[in-house]
Structure 1
Amino acid sequence: MTEPDVLLAGLAFGESARWHDDRLWLADWGTGEIRAVDGEGRSEVVVRLDAETLPISLDWLPDGRMLIVEGPAARLLRREPDGSLVTHADLSGVGGYYNELVVDARGNAYVNGGRGDFSDPGLIAMVTPDGTAREVGGGLQFGNGMAITEDGSTLIVAESWGRRLSAFDIHSDGGLGERRLWADLGEGTPDGICLDAEGAVWFADVPNRACVRVAEGGEVLETVELDRGGFSCALGGPDRRTLFALAAEFRGFEEMAEDIAARTGQVLVSQVRVPGTGRP
Protein backbone atom coordinates (compact mmCIF):
# COMPACT_ATOMS: atom_id res chain seq x y z
CA MET A 1 0.00 0.00 0.00
CA THR A 2 1.31 3.49 -0.87
CA GLU A 3 2.11 6.09 1.76
CA PRO A 4 -0.93 8.02 2.99
CA ASP A 5 -1.57 11.55 1.74
CA VAL A 6 -1.97 14.55 4.07
CA LEU A 7 -5.52 15.89 3.88
CA LEU A 8 -5.22 18.41 6.75
CA ALA A 9 -2.34 19.58 8.96
CA GLY A 10 -2.00 21.92 11.94
CA LEU A 11 -4.16 20.03 14.43
CA ALA A 12 -3.17 19.66 18.09
CA PHE A 13 -4.30 16.07 18.80
CA GLY A 14 -7.02 14.74 16.53
CA GLU A 15 -9.07 11.98 18.15
CA SER A 16 -12.37 10.12 17.68
CA ALA A 17 -12.48 10.01 13.86
CA ARG A 18 -16.07 9.66 12.62
CA TRP A 19 -17.52 9.65 9.08
CA HIS A 20 -20.90 11.41 9.15
CA ASP A 21 -22.96 13.40 6.63
CA ASP A 22 -20.24 13.14 3.95
CA ARG A 23 -17.52 14.63 6.15
CA LEU A 24 -14.88 13.41 8.58
CA TRP A 25 -15.49 14.61 12.13
CA LEU A 26 -12.93 14.71 14.93
CA ALA A 27 -12.25 16.03 18.41
CA ASP A 28 -9.12 18.19 18.54
CA TRP A 29 -7.67 17.74 22.03
CA GLY A 30 -5.97 20.77 23.51
CA THR A 31 -8.18 23.21 21.58
CA GLY A 32 -11.64 22.20 22.82
CA GLU A 33 -12.87 21.95 19.22
CA ILE A 34 -15.02 19.50 17.30
CA ARG A 35 -14.13 19.81 13.62
CA ALA A 36 -15.64 18.56 10.37
CA VAL A 37 -13.39 18.10 7.33
CA ASP A 38 -14.55 17.61 3.75
CA GLY A 39 -12.84 15.58 1.03
CA GLU A 40 -10.80 18.58 -0.11
CA GLY A 41 -9.37 19.22 3.34
CA ARG A 42 -11.57 22.21 4.16
CA SER A 43 -12.09 22.28 7.91
CA GLU A 44 -14.91 23.83 9.96
CA VAL A 45 -15.10 24.22 13.75
CA VAL A 46 -18.65 23.02 14.56
CA VAL A 47 -18.42 22.98 18.37
CA ARG A 48 -16.05 24.97 20.54
CA LEU A 49 -15.68 24.15 24.25
CA ASP A 50 -13.21 25.28 26.87
CA ALA A 51 -10.00 23.35 26.17
CA GLU A 52 -9.88 22.28 29.83
CA THR A 53 -13.16 20.36 29.43
CA LEU A 54 -11.36 18.08 26.95
CA PRO A 55 -14.04 16.95 24.48
CA ILE A 56 -12.72 13.43 24.02
CA SER A 57 -15.10 11.55 21.76
CA LEU A 58 -18.27 12.07 19.74
CA ASP A 59 -21.05 10.19 17.98
CA TRP A 60 -24.67 10.74 16.97
CA LEU A 61 -28.07 9.65 18.20
CA PRO A 62 -30.37 8.13 15.55
CA ASP A 63 -32.23 11.47 15.29
CA GLY A 64 -29.02 13.28 14.30
CA ARG A 65 -28.17 15.03 17.56
CA MET A 66 -24.48 14.82 18.46
CA LEU A 67 -23.21 13.42 21.75
CA ILE A 68 -19.85 14.56 23.15
CA VAL A 69 -17.86 12.93 25.95
CA GLU A 70 -16.62 15.54 28.42
CA GLY A 71 -14.01 13.23 29.91
CA PRO A 72 -12.69 14.82 33.12
CA ALA A 73 -16.18 16.06 34.06
CA ALA A 74 -17.66 12.55 33.63
CA ARG A 75 -20.47 13.98 31.57
CA LEU A 76 -22.11 13.27 28.23
CA LEU A 77 -23.23 16.40 26.38
CA ARG A 78 -25.89 16.60 23.67
CA ARG A 79 -25.92 19.16 20.87
CA GLU A 80 -29.44 20.33 20.10
CA PRO A 81 -30.64 21.32 16.59
CA ASP A 82 -30.10 25.02 17.43
CA GLY A 83 -26.46 24.33 18.32
CA SER A 84 -26.90 24.61 22.09
CA LEU A 85 -25.26 22.04 24.38
CA VAL A 86 -27.14 20.35 27.22
CA THR A 87 -26.24 17.54 29.61
CA HIS A 88 -27.42 14.21 28.19
CA ALA A 89 -26.13 12.17 31.14
CA ASP A 90 -24.12 12.63 34.34
CA LEU A 91 -21.74 9.66 34.50
CA SER A 92 -20.01 10.58 37.76
CA GLY A 93 -22.07 8.06 39.70
CA VAL A 94 -20.68 5.23 37.57
CA GLY A 95 -17.03 6.23 37.04
CA GLY A 96 -14.59 9.08 37.44
CA TYR A 97 -13.24 9.65 33.93
CA TYR A 98 -14.37 8.70 30.44
CA ASN A 99 -12.81 8.13 27.06
CA GLU A 100 -14.43 6.70 23.89
CA LEU A 101 -18.08 6.67 22.81
CA VAL A 102 -20.20 4.71 20.34
CA VAL A 103 -23.99 4.85 19.88
CA ASP A 104 -26.12 1.96 18.63
CA ALA A 105 -29.12 2.06 16.29
CA ARG A 106 -31.51 2.25 19.26
CA GLY A 107 -29.83 5.32 20.73
CA ASN A 108 -28.00 3.52 23.53
CA ALA A 109 -24.62 5.18 24.11
CA TYR A 110 -21.66 3.09 25.29
CA VAL A 111 -18.84 5.02 26.98
CA ASN A 112 -15.69 3.51 28.44
CA GLY A 113 -13.64 4.89 31.28
CA GLY A 114 -12.69 4.12 34.87
CA ARG A 115 -13.23 4.92 38.51
CA GLY A 116 -9.88 6.61 39.15
CA ASP A 117 -6.99 6.96 36.74
CA PHE A 118 -5.88 4.86 33.79
CA SER A 119 -4.23 2.31 36.10
CA ASP A 120 -7.62 1.17 37.40
CA PRO A 121 -9.52 -1.66 35.69
CA GLY A 122 -11.70 0.13 33.16
CA LEU A 123 -15.45 -0.07 32.73
CA ILE A 124 -18.14 0.46 30.13
CA ALA A 125 -21.20 2.54 30.95
CA MET A 126 -24.40 2.41 28.92
CA VAL A 127 -26.59 5.50 28.65
CA THR A 128 -30.16 4.91 27.47
CA PRO A 129 -31.89 7.53 25.26
CA ASP A 130 -33.51 9.11 28.33
CA GLY A 131 -30.08 9.72 29.92
CA THR A 132 -30.08 6.89 32.46
CA ALA A 133 -26.56 5.51 32.99
CA ARG A 134 -25.39 2.18 34.38
CA GLU A 135 -22.28 0.03 34.27
CA VAL A 136 -22.56 -2.85 31.80
CA GLY A 137 -18.97 -4.10 31.43
CA GLY A 138 -15.62 -4.04 33.16
CA GLY A 139 -12.11 -5.39 33.47
CA LEU A 140 -10.65 -3.26 30.66
CA GLN A 141 -6.95 -2.44 30.53
CA PHE A 142 -7.19 1.20 29.37
CA GLY A 143 -10.32 1.00 27.20
CA ASN A 144 -10.02 3.01 24.01
CA GLY A 145 -11.76 2.85 20.61
CA MET A 146 -15.08 1.02 20.28
CA ALA A 147 -17.21 -0.20 17.37
CA ILE A 148 -20.54 -2.00 16.95
CA THR A 149 -21.08 -4.58 14.22
CA GLU A 150 -23.55 -3.84 11.42
CA ASP A 151 -26.17 -6.20 12.86
CA GLY A 152 -25.91 -4.54 16.28
CA SER A 153 -25.06 -7.80 18.03
CA THR A 154 -21.47 -7.18 19.15
CA LEU A 155 -19.45 -4.39 20.75
CA ILE A 156 -15.69 -4.50 20.07
CA VAL A 157 -13.37 -2.57 22.38
CA ALA A 158 -9.68 -1.69 22.04
CA GLU A 159 -7.66 -2.23 25.22
CA SER A 160 -4.49 -0.20 24.77
CA TRP A 161 -2.55 -1.50 27.75
CA GLY A 162 -3.92 -5.01 27.25
CA ARG A 163 -2.68 -5.02 23.61
CA ARG A 164 -5.89 -6.70 22.54
CA LEU A 165 -9.34 -6.25 21.09
CA SER A 166 -12.17 -7.58 23.24
CA ALA A 167 -15.78 -8.30 22.30
CA PHE A 168 -19.09 -8.24 24.18
CA ASP A 169 -22.44 -9.61 23.02
CA ILE A 170 -25.10 -6.89 23.15
CA HIS A 171 -28.32 -8.07 24.82
CA SER A 172 -31.85 -7.04 23.88
CA ASP A 173 -31.96 -4.56 26.79
CA GLY A 174 -28.64 -2.99 25.76
CA GLY A 175 -26.66 -4.76 28.46
CA LEU A 176 -23.47 -6.65 27.64
CA GLY A 177 -22.41 -10.26 28.00
CA GLU A 178 -19.07 -11.40 29.36
CA ARG A 179 -15.90 -9.98 27.83
CA ARG A 180 -14.16 -12.34 25.42
CA LEU A 181 -10.90 -12.05 23.50
CA TRP A 182 -11.48 -10.95 19.88
CA ALA A 183 -7.80 -10.57 18.91
CA ASP A 184 -4.46 -10.77 20.71
CA LEU A 185 -2.40 -8.02 19.04
CA GLY A 186 1.07 -9.05 20.24
CA GLU A 187 3.06 -5.81 20.28
CA GLY A 188 0.16 -3.82 18.83
CA THR A 189 -1.25 -1.01 20.97
CA PRO A 190 -4.76 -0.18 19.75
CA ASP A 191 -6.27 3.27 20.10
CA GLY A 192 -9.19 4.23 17.82
CA ILE A 193 -10.82 1.48 15.73
CA CYS A 194 -13.29 0.93 12.90
CA LEU A 195 -14.88 -2.09 11.18
CA ASP A 196 -15.00 -3.16 7.55
CA ALA A 197 -17.43 -5.24 5.49
CA GLU A 198 -15.30 -8.40 5.73
CA GLY A 199 -15.48 -8.35 9.54
CA ALA A 200 -11.94 -7.07 10.04
CA VAL A 201 -10.93 -4.24 12.38
CA TRP A 202 -8.60 -1.36 11.57
CA PHE A 203 -6.83 0.03 14.65
CA ALA A 204 -4.65 3.11 15.02
CA ASP A 205 -1.42 2.55 16.96
CA VAL A 206 0.49 5.41 18.62
CA PRO A 207 3.85 3.82 19.63
CA ASN A 208 4.11 1.68 16.48
CA ARG A 209 3.13 4.58 14.20
CA ALA A 210 0.69 2.69 12.04
CA CYS A 211 -2.89 1.76 11.21
CA VAL A 212 -3.29 -2.01 11.14
CA ARG A 213 -6.09 -4.21 9.77
CA VAL A 214 -6.62 -7.45 11.68
CA ALA A 215 -8.99 -10.40 11.43
CA GLU A 216 -10.74 -11.95 14.41
CA GLY A 217 -8.08 -14.04 16.12
CA GLY A 218 -5.31 -11.51 15.45
CA GLU A 219 -4.00 -12.23 11.92
CA VAL A 220 -2.55 -9.02 10.47
CA LEU A 221 -4.08 -8.44 7.03
CA GLU A 222 -2.74 -4.98 6.08
CA THR A 223 -0.59 -2.22 7.57
CA VAL A 224 -0.43 1.48 6.72
CA GLU A 225 2.82 2.94 8.03
CA LEU A 226 2.69 6.46 9.51
CA ASP A 227 5.47 8.92 10.30
CA ARG A 228 3.90 9.80 13.66
CA GLY A 229 1.61 8.18 16.21
CA GLY A 230 -1.78 6.92 15.01
CA PHE A 231 -4.56 7.97 17.41
CA SER A 232 -7.75 7.15 15.54
CA CYS A 233 -9.06 5.91 12.19
CA ALA A 234 -12.31 5.77 10.24
CA LEU A 235 -13.47 4.38 6.90
CA GLY A 236 -15.37 6.98 4.90
CA GLY A 237 -15.58 8.76 1.59
CA PRO A 238 -18.29 8.26 -1.07
CA ASP A 239 -17.89 4.45 -1.01
CA ARG A 240 -16.38 4.19 2.49
CA ARG A 241 -13.12 2.93 0.99
CA THR A 242 -11.03 5.86 2.24
CA LEU A 243 -9.10 5.17 5.43
CA PHE A 244 -8.79 8.39 7.44
CA ALA A 245 -6.03 8.32 10.07
CA LEU A 246 -5.57 10.93 12.79
CA ALA A 247 -1.87 11.14 13.64
CA ALA A 248 0.44 13.35 15.70
CA GLU A 249 3.82 13.38 17.39
CA PHE A 250 3.49 12.12 20.96
CA ARG A 251 6.33 11.91 23.49
CA GLY A 252 4.25 10.89 26.50
CA PHE A 253 1.74 12.53 28.83
CA GLU A 254 4.53 14.51 30.55
CA GLU A 255 5.32 16.32 27.29
CA MET A 256 1.74 16.62 26.08
CA ALA A 257 1.43 20.40 26.56
CA GLU A 258 4.47 20.99 24.37
CA ASP A 259 3.24 18.50 21.79
CA ILE A 260 -0.12 20.29 21.63
CA ALA A 261 1.62 23.63 21.12
CA ALA A 262 3.70 22.16 18.29
CA ARG A 263 0.53 21.41 16.26
CA THR A 264 1.85 18.26 14.58
CA GLY A 265 -1.60 16.70 14.23
CA GLN A 266 -2.67 15.62 10.76
CA VAL A 267 -5.51 13.93 8.92
CA LEU A 268 -4.02 11.31 6.57
CA VAL A 269 -5.88 9.40 3.84
CA SER A 270 -5.30 6.06 2.11
CA GLN A 271 -7.48 4.10 -0.32
CA VAL A 272 -8.41 0.57 0.74
CA ARG A 273 -10.17 -2.34 -0.94
CA VAL A 274 -12.85 -3.24 1.63
CA PRO A 275 -15.42 -0.58 2.60
CA GLY A 276 -16.36 0.35 6.12
CA THR A 277 -19.43 -0.87 7.96
CA GLY A 278 -21.00 -0.84 11.42
CA ARG A 279 -20.90 1.99 13.94
CA PRO A 280 -19.47 4.53 14.30
Structure 2
Amino acid sequence: MAEVLMSGLVIGESARWRNGRLWCSNWGAQEVLAVDASGKCEVMARVPTTLPFSIDWLPDGRLLVTSGPEGLVLRQEPSGDLVVHADLSVYGGLNEIVVDGRGNIYVNGGCDFHPDEDERPGFIVLITPDGAVRRVADELAFPNGMVITPDNSTLVIAESFAQTLTAYDVSADGSLSSRRVWAPHTGDGMVMDADGAIWTPGWADNGPACLRIAEGGEILETVPLKHAGFACTLGDDGTLYMLTADWHMQESFESNLDRLLSDRTGRILTHKAPTPPAGWP
Protein backbone atom coordinates (compact mmCIF):
# COMPACT_ATOMS: atom_id res chain seq x y z
CA MET A 1 0.00 0.00 0.00
CA ALA A 2 1.32 3.43 -0.96
CA GLU A 3 1.91 6.09 1.69
CA VAL A 4 1.62 9.86 1.19
CA LEU A 5 4.93 11.71 1.51
CA MET A 6 3.73 15.11 0.27
CA SER A 7 0.58 16.72 -1.07
CA GLY A 8 -0.30 20.12 -2.52
CA LEU A 9 1.43 19.84 -5.90
CA VAL A 10 -0.38 20.92 -9.03
CA ILE A 11 0.85 18.06 -11.25
CA GLY A 12 4.13 16.39 -10.39
CA GLU A 13 6.10 15.00 -13.33
CA SER A 14 9.62 13.93 -14.39
CA ALA A 15 10.52 12.14 -11.14
CA ARG A 16 14.28 11.81 -10.61
CA TRP A 17 16.48 10.65 -7.71
CA ARG A 18 19.63 12.66 -7.07
CA ASN A 19 21.93 13.13 -4.08
CA GLY A 20 19.54 11.66 -1.56
CA ARG A 21 16.42 13.54 -2.66
CA LEU A 22 13.51 13.16 -5.05
CA TRP A 23 13.48 15.83 -7.74
CA CYS A 24 10.45 16.57 -9.92
CA SER A 25 8.74 19.13 -12.09
CA ASN A 26 5.65 20.78 -10.61
CA TRP A 27 3.61 21.47 -13.71
CA GLY A 28 1.30 24.47 -13.41
CA ALA A 29 3.46 26.06 -10.70
CA GLN A 30 6.53 26.44 -13.00
CA GLU A 31 8.80 24.90 -10.35
CA VAL A 32 11.50 22.26 -10.14
CA LEU A 33 11.37 20.76 -6.65
CA ALA A 34 13.66 18.63 -4.49
CA VAL A 35 12.02 16.67 -1.67
CA ASP A 36 13.75 14.75 1.10
CA ALA A 37 12.61 11.55 2.83
CA SER A 38 10.70 13.54 5.47
CA GLY A 39 8.72 15.48 2.86
CA LYS A 40 10.69 18.73 3.26
CA CYS A 41 10.56 20.54 -0.09
CA GLU A 42 12.91 23.06 -1.72
CA VAL A 43 12.34 24.98 -4.96
CA MET A 44 15.47 24.41 -7.06
CA ALA A 45 14.46 26.33 -10.20
CA ARG A 46 11.61 28.39 -11.58
CA VAL A 47 10.90 27.63 -15.22
CA PRO A 48 9.44 30.32 -17.53
CA THR A 49 7.07 28.01 -19.42
CA THR A 50 3.68 26.37 -19.05
CA LEU A 51 3.85 22.61 -19.60
CA PRO A 52 5.30 20.13 -20.23
CA PHE A 53 8.77 20.53 -18.76
CA SER A 54 11.08 17.74 -17.65
CA ILE A 55 14.50 17.45 -16.05
CA ASP A 56 17.83 15.63 -16.01
CA TRP A 57 21.50 16.55 -15.52
CA LEU A 58 24.66 16.95 -17.54
CA PRO A 59 27.62 14.81 -16.42
CA ASP A 60 29.11 17.91 -14.76
CA GLY A 61 26.03 18.22 -12.55
CA ARG A 62 24.27 21.15 -14.22
CA LEU A 63 20.48 20.81 -14.38
CA LEU A 64 18.78 20.50 -17.77
CA VAL A 65 15.12 21.42 -18.29
CA THR A 66 13.01 20.91 -21.39
CA SER A 67 10.89 23.99 -21.97
CA GLY A 68 8.29 22.01 -23.90
CA PRO A 69 6.05 24.48 -25.75
CA GLU A 70 9.04 26.60 -26.80
CA GLY A 71 11.08 23.62 -28.02
CA LEU A 72 14.08 24.58 -25.89
CA VAL A 73 16.47 22.67 -23.65
CA LEU A 74 17.52 24.98 -20.83
CA ARG A 75 20.61 24.67 -18.62
CA GLN A 76 20.94 25.97 -15.07
CA GLU A 77 24.21 27.80 -14.44
CA PRO A 78 25.93 27.98 -11.03
CA SER A 79 24.26 31.39 -10.54
CA GLY A 80 20.88 29.67 -10.72
CA ASP A 81 19.99 31.31 -14.01
CA LEU A 82 18.48 29.23 -16.80
CA VAL A 83 20.10 29.68 -20.22
CA VAL A 84 19.43 28.01 -23.58
CA HIS A 85 21.49 24.83 -23.94
CA ALA A 86 19.90 23.80 -27.27
CA ASP A 87 17.19 25.28 -29.46
CA LEU A 88 15.14 22.38 -30.84
CA SER A 89 12.12 24.46 -31.83
CA VAL A 90 12.50 23.42 -35.47
CA TYR A 91 11.40 19.92 -34.41
CA GLY A 92 8.29 21.07 -32.51
CA GLY A 93 7.20 20.86 -28.89
CA LEU A 94 9.24 18.79 -26.45
CA ASN A 95 8.33 16.44 -23.60
CA GLU A 96 10.78 14.12 -21.76
CA ILE A 97 14.57 14.12 -21.44
CA VAL A 98 17.18 11.55 -20.38
CA VAL A 99 20.98 11.80 -20.30
CA ASP A 100 22.89 8.51 -20.66
CA GLY A 101 26.18 7.46 -19.07
CA ARG A 102 28.19 8.89 -21.97
CA GLY A 103 26.66 12.36 -21.80
CA ASN A 104 24.30 11.89 -24.75
CA ILE A 105 21.05 13.81 -24.28
CA TYR A 106 17.83 12.28 -25.64
CA VAL A 107 14.76 14.52 -25.90
CA ASN A 108 11.39 13.43 -27.20
CA GLY A 109 8.41 15.41 -28.41
CA GLY A 110 5.61 15.64 -30.94
CA CYS A 111 3.01 14.87 -28.27
CA ASP A 112 -0.34 15.50 -29.96
CA PHE A 113 -3.46 14.62 -27.94
CA HIS A 114 -5.54 14.56 -31.14
CA PRO A 115 -3.40 13.31 -34.05
CA ASP A 116 -5.00 12.48 -37.38
CA GLU A 117 -5.93 8.85 -37.86
CA ASP A 118 -2.88 6.57 -38.24
CA GLU A 119 -0.50 9.48 -37.62
CA ARG A 120 2.33 9.13 -35.09
CA PRO A 121 4.01 12.54 -34.91
CA GLY A 122 6.35 11.72 -32.03
CA PHE A 123 10.15 11.80 -32.33
CA ILE A 124 13.41 11.52 -30.40
CA VAL A 125 16.25 14.01 -30.89
CA LEU A 126 19.84 13.34 -29.82
CA ILE A 127 22.21 16.04 -28.56
CA THR A 128 25.76 14.67 -28.41
CA PRO A 129 28.37 15.91 -25.90
CA ASP A 130 29.98 18.05 -28.63
CA GLY A 131 26.66 19.82 -29.23
CA ALA A 132 25.66 18.12 -32.50
CA VAL A 133 21.91 17.60 -32.91
CA ARG A 134 20.11 15.03 -34.99
CA ARG A 135 16.77 13.25 -35.10
CA VAL A 136 17.18 9.56 -34.23
CA ALA A 137 13.60 8.18 -34.06
CA ASP A 138 10.24 8.98 -35.62
CA GLU A 139 6.63 7.79 -35.83
CA LEU A 140 6.04 7.49 -32.10
CA ALA A 141 2.51 7.52 -30.69
CA PHE A 142 2.75 10.13 -27.92
CA PRO A 143 6.30 9.60 -26.65
CA ASN A 144 6.59 9.81 -22.89
CA GLY A 145 9.06 8.57 -20.26
CA MET A 146 12.41 7.05 -21.29
CA VAL A 147 15.00 4.85 -19.59
CA ILE A 148 18.44 3.70 -20.71
CA THR A 149 20.03 0.48 -19.48
CA PRO A 150 23.15 0.63 -17.26
CA ASP A 151 25.43 -0.48 -20.12
CA ASN A 152 24.07 2.30 -22.41
CA SER A 153 23.01 -0.34 -24.94
CA THR A 154 19.20 -0.02 -24.92
CA LEU A 155 16.73 2.85 -24.73
CA VAL A 156 13.13 2.11 -23.78
CA ILE A 157 10.41 4.71 -24.37
CA ALA A 158 6.73 4.72 -23.42
CA GLU A 159 4.45 5.21 -26.41
CA SER A 160 1.40 6.13 -24.38
CA PHE A 161 -1.15 6.17 -27.19
CA ALA A 162 0.12 2.85 -28.60
CA GLN A 163 0.00 1.28 -25.12
CA THR A 164 3.52 0.02 -25.73
CA LEU A 165 6.95 0.25 -24.16
CA THR A 166 9.23 0.41 -27.21
CA ALA A 167 12.94 -0.47 -27.18
CA TYR A 168 15.85 0.58 -29.40
CA ASP A 169 19.45 -0.55 -29.58
CA VAL A 170 21.84 2.34 -28.90
CA SER A 171 24.97 2.47 -31.04
CA ALA A 172 28.37 3.87 -30.04
CA ASP A 173 27.55 7.20 -31.70
CA GLY A 174 24.18 7.44 -29.93
CA SER A 175 22.03 6.41 -32.90
CA LEU A 176 18.94 4.27 -32.31
CA SER A 177 18.07 1.11 -34.29
CA SER A 178 16.27 -2.25 -34.11
CA ARG A 179 12.94 -0.83 -32.93
CA ARG A 180 10.87 -3.47 -31.11
CA VAL A 181 8.20 -4.00 -28.45
CA TRP A 182 9.77 -4.22 -24.98
CA ALA A 183 6.38 -4.82 -23.33
CA PRO A 184 2.76 -4.39 -24.52
CA HIS A 185 1.81 -1.86 -21.83
CA THR A 186 1.23 1.87 -21.67
CA GLY A 187 3.51 4.06 -19.59
CA ASP A 188 4.61 7.53 -18.55
CA GLY A 189 7.59 8.75 -16.54
CA MET A 190 9.41 5.54 -15.59
CA VAL A 191 12.47 3.98 -13.97
CA MET A 192 14.45 0.75 -14.42
CA ASP A 193 15.46 -1.32 -11.40
CA ALA A 194 18.51 -3.48 -10.71
CA ASP A 195 16.69 -6.60 -11.96
CA GLY A 196 16.03 -5.00 -15.36
CA ALA A 197 12.31 -4.49 -14.72
CA ILE A 198 10.61 -1.16 -15.34
CA TRP A 199 8.29 0.67 -12.96
CA THR A 200 5.78 2.92 -14.72
CA PRO A 201 2.36 4.47 -14.09
CA GLY A 202 -0.35 2.53 -15.85
CA TRP A 203 -3.69 0.85 -15.31
CA ALA A 204 -4.81 -2.26 -13.47
CA ASP A 205 -8.19 -3.98 -13.80
CA ASN A 206 -9.77 -1.69 -11.22
CA GLY A 207 -8.10 1.65 -11.98
CA PRO A 208 -4.83 3.58 -12.01
CA ALA A 209 -1.74 1.86 -10.67
CA CYS A 210 2.03 1.85 -10.73
CA LEU A 211 3.27 -1.33 -12.41
CA ARG A 212 6.54 -3.23 -12.23
CA ILE A 213 6.94 -4.83 -15.66
CA ALA A 214 9.43 -7.40 -16.92
CA GLU A 215 10.71 -7.37 -20.48
CA GLY A 216 8.11 -9.23 -22.51
CA GLY A 217 5.19 -7.87 -20.51
CA GLU A 218 4.78 -9.87 -17.29
CA ILE A 219 3.41 -7.70 -14.47
CA LEU A 220 5.62 -8.42 -11.46
CA GLU A 221 3.96 -6.06 -8.98
CA THR A 222 1.01 -3.66 -8.89
CA VAL A 223 0.62 -0.65 -6.57
CA PRO A 224 -2.97 0.68 -6.73
CA LEU A 225 -3.36 4.46 -6.96
CA LYS A 226 -6.34 6.68 -6.15
CA HIS A 227 -5.54 9.14 -8.93
CA ALA A 228 -3.73 8.97 -12.26
CA GLY A 229 0.02 8.41 -12.09
CA PHE A 230 2.34 10.70 -14.05
CA ALA A 231 5.83 9.51 -13.14
CA CYS A 232 7.82 7.38 -10.74
CA THR A 233 11.41 6.79 -9.68
CA LEU A 234 13.40 4.75 -7.19
CA GLY A 235 15.54 5.96 -4.32
CA ASP A 236 18.89 4.37 -3.60
CA ASP A 237 17.31 2.41 -0.72
CA GLY A 238 14.66 0.90 -3.00
CA THR A 239 11.86 3.29 -2.08
CA LEU A 240 9.48 3.80 -4.99
CA TYR A 241 8.31 7.41 -5.38
CA MET A 242 5.10 7.94 -7.39
CA LEU A 243 3.64 11.26 -8.61
CA THR A 244 -0.15 11.37 -8.94
CA ALA A 245 -2.90 13.95 -9.50
CA ASP A 246 -6.66 14.04 -10.08
CA TRP A 247 -6.67 14.46 -13.86
CA HIS A 248 -8.53 12.55 -16.56
CA MET A 249 -7.59 11.81 -20.17
CA GLN A 250 -10.67 13.56 -21.52
CA GLU A 251 -9.51 16.82 -19.92
CA SER A 252 -7.00 19.16 -21.45
CA PHE A 253 -4.33 20.60 -19.19
CA GLU A 254 -4.77 24.10 -20.57
CA SER A 255 -8.56 24.36 -20.16
CA ASN A 256 -8.45 22.86 -16.67
CA LEU A 257 -5.34 24.63 -15.37
CA ASP A 258 -7.36 27.00 -13.16
CA ARG A 259 -9.02 24.01 -11.47
CA LEU A 260 -5.72 22.17 -11.12
CA LEU A 261 -4.08 25.25 -9.59
CA SER A 262 -6.98 25.67 -7.19
CA ASP A 263 -7.41 22.03 -6.17
CA ARG A 264 -3.70 21.08 -6.03
CA THR A 265 -4.42 17.36 -5.88
CA GLY A 266 -0.85 16.43 -6.85
CA ARG A 267 0.80 14.06 -4.39
CA ILE A 268 4.04 12.20 -3.87
CA LEU A 269 3.47 8.62 -2.71
CA THR A 270 5.99 6.05 -1.52
CA HIS A 271 6.12 2.27 -1.55
CA LYS A 272 8.90 -0.17 -0.66
CA ALA A 273 10.20 -1.80 -3.84
CA PRO A 274 12.27 -5.02 -4.02
CA THR A 275 15.38 -3.57 -5.69
CA PRO A 276 17.12 -0.18 -6.13
CA PRO A 277 17.40 1.77 -9.41
CA ALA A 278 19.69 1.07 -12.33
CA GLY A 279 20.54 2.87 -15.56
CA TRP A 280 19.38 6.37 -16.51
CA PRO A 281 17.67 8.53 -15.44
TM-score above 0.5, yes or no: yes
Gaps of 5+ in 1: none
Task: Give the aligned partner of residue 36 of structure 1.
Answer: 34
Task: Give the aligned partner of residue 162 of structure 1.
Answer: 162
**Which one of 91, 97, 103 corresponds to residue 93 of structure 2?**
97
Q: Which amino acid aligns with 2:101?
A: A
1:255–1:71 distance in 2 versus 1, CA, 3 Å: same
Task: Give the aligned partner of residue 227 of structure 2.
Answer: 228
Task: Give the aligned partner of residue 271 of structure 1.
Answer: 272
CA distance in 1, matches of 2:35, 2:247: 22
CA distance in 2, matches of 1:206, 1:69: 27
Task: Give the aligned partner of residue 74 of structure 1.
Answer: 71
1:121–1:246 distance in 2 versus 1, CA, 3 Å: same
* Equivalent position SS for 1:82: coil
Q: Number of residue pairs matched?
A: 271
| Aligned partners of 1:194 and 1:202 also within 8 Å | yes
Out of 82-91 and 198-207, give the one that drifted further.
198-207
CA distance in 1, matches of 2:149, 2:141: 22
RMSD: 1.7
Q: Which amino acid aligns with 1:172?
A: A
* Equivalent position SS for 1:250: coil
CA distance in 2, matches of 1:54, 1:250: 15
**Which one of 103, 106, 113 corresponds to residue 110 of structure 1?**
106
| Aligned partners of 1:29 and 1:55 also within 8 Å | yes
CA distance in 1, matches of 2:36, 2:161: 33
| Aligned partners of 2:5 and 2:38 also within 8 Å | yes
Aligned-residue offset at 1:116: 6.6
Task: Give the aligned partner of residue 150 of structure 1.
Answer: 150
CA distance in 1, matches of 2:231, 2:170: 24
Q: Which amino acid aligns with 1:228?
A: H
Aligned-residue offset at 1:55: 5.5
* Equivalent position SS for 2:80: coil
After TM superposition, the structure 1 = structure 2 runs for residues 1-280 of structure 1, keeping only pairs within 5 Å, are 3-50=1-48, 52-54=49-51, 56-93=53-90, 95-114=91-110, 119=115, 120-185=120-185, 189-205=186-202, 208-237=207-236, 239=237, 241-251=238-248, 252-253=251-252, 254-280=255-281
CA distance in 2, matches of 1:115, 1:183: 21
What's the CA shift string for 1:40-66, capped at 9, x where partnerless?
Answer: 00000010123x443611001111011
Aligned-residue offset at 1:205: 2.5
What's the CA shift string for 1:180-227, capped at 9, x where partnerless?
Answer: 110012xxx311111011111111127942100111110111000011
1:104–1:260 distance in 2 versus 1, CA, 3 Å: same
| Aligned partners of 1:97 and 1:117 also within 8 Å | no
* Equivalent position SS for 1:179: strand
TM-score in terms of structure 1 length? 0.92
TM-score in terms of structure 2 length? 0.92
What's the CA shift string for 1:17-60, capped at 9, x where partnerless?
Answer: 0000110000000011000000100000010123x443611001
Identity %: 49
Aligned-residue offset at 1:118: 5.9
